[in-house]
A and B are shown apart, each in its own frame.
Chain A
């Protein structure tokens, strides 16, 4: 299994540009989530999904959109990038939403810089 994969690994955007960060998992996990990691702030939850067609907001959702059309994919969209969105973005997944261990598996991250 490839586990959780993310693309791209690095990205530079100009203020106002849009882009989509890709996340995929091949473990048939129901639960997927996006985090951002900033120095001194730790990891903060942006959006999450408990299954295809179901998404919800986390702690810092403003400026980001998500959708979940398949079990495998959970893209994160920045509609109009701002310098405050400069961060490292991690996608994570876990097997079961309702019960089970909920052990989380993380992707390698996308390092985004907005100028």
Chain B
């Protein structure tokens, strides 16, 4: 059974720091992996989607990498800002069952001005 974990559960950094959020999954047979951002009391906003054949995706200050063989993805945030404070979730879509996306528990990020 596919399981997704995210470490750390919470992270607090000063403004301007570069930071890395981690996502691990137990089964390498995935179709894609998607990173989301969730602000308190809000829905999920898609940040980056990495297909299984890709190694990384970039959008602005965000870079997500994927290493299927080791069951890991990282989300790199450059030059963090207070507006980046949110919970970040990763979600894995198994290649054997497209319908059942598995979410990680999330990392709560706080960027201190």
Contact = CB atoms under 8 A, between A and B. Distances in A.
Interface stretch (B17-25, B40-48, B72-80): B40-48
Interface residues of A, number: 26
Contacts, number: 53
Q: Is the interface of B mostly helix, strand, loop or mixed?
A: strand
B67 to A, nearest CB: 20
A104 B101 contact: yes
Interface string B97-113: 01111011110000000
B34 interface: yes
A90 B99 contact: no
Nearest to B44: A106
Interface string A29-52: 001010100001011110010100
B93 A43 contact: no
Contacts of B99: 31, 33, 48, 50, 56, 58
Contacts of B91: 43, 104
Contacts of B46: 103-106
Interface residues of B, number: 23
Nearest to A56: B99
B64 interface: no
A11 B97 CA distance: 33
B87 to A, nearest CB: 10
A111 B43 CA distance: 11
Interface of B: 31-32, 34, 36, 41-46, 49, 51, 89, 91, 93, 98-101, 103-106
